[in-house]
Amino acid sequence: MRSRCALFVVFALALVVVTPSFARAQGTYFTPYIGSSFNSSVDDFDFGTKLHYGADLTFLANNGLGFQVDFGYSPTFFEAGEDEFLDLESDGSVTTLMGNLVFGGATGLYASGGLGLMRSRIGSPADLFDEVSKNEFGVNVGGGVRIGSAKGFGVRGDLRYFRQISDLGRVYNLDLGDFSFWRATAGLSFGF
């Protein structure tokens, strides 16, 4: 528990460093998106490509540094594919809520990364077991491109890697979990 608090303190300090630059904000961007996950892995089991949708809100300063809140949802993430050897009609979803630092301009290329929560819900295969829901810390890193007006309408493409943190251990010795996936999305971006 102590290491989790330390991790949040480090993240909060990063926000304090970024916050003064928001006084000279370049803009705020709201981007609803839709896309797909791929290369998902849980104990080396690949769930294939799954639909993802969500939205993010990005605050960007004139110096190109910013903060982003990203919410993503995949309603069928843990459903077995058609070519699975044994389909027990399981269902399950993944929800992500991440706070990220962003580096880039209002238009063009950007990089982003941060941490947050990953919620996994796995339904009972053929009602044999109880449903499992788990909230874990997670990290994500990626980037993309935004094309369009800096203070108006634009189009954005984004590619990110998500990974669960199973055991925070000591702050300097993070143990990455065995649940990860890539997510590619495209969305309409509205600048204010």
Kindly report, residue by residue over 78-107, the tens digit of the pLDDT. Answer: 876 554 444 545 578 999 999 999 999 888
DSSP for residue 45 = B
Tens of pLDDT, residues 132-189: 788 999 999 999 999 998 888 999 999 999 999 865 444 444 456 778 999 999 999 9
Strands 132-148 and 65-74: unpaired
Question: pTM (2 decimals)?
Answer: 0.79
137 neighbors 4 (Cβ within 8 angstroms): yes
pLDDT at position 112, please?
97
Within 13 Å and on the Cβ side, how many CA atoms surround 116?
A: 19
The structural domains of the chain, ordered by start, are 2-191 (2.40.160.20)
Neighbours of 41 (CB within 10 A): 14
Range in 18-27, 42-51, 163-172 with the lowest mean pLDDT: 18-27
pLDDT at position 151, please?
85
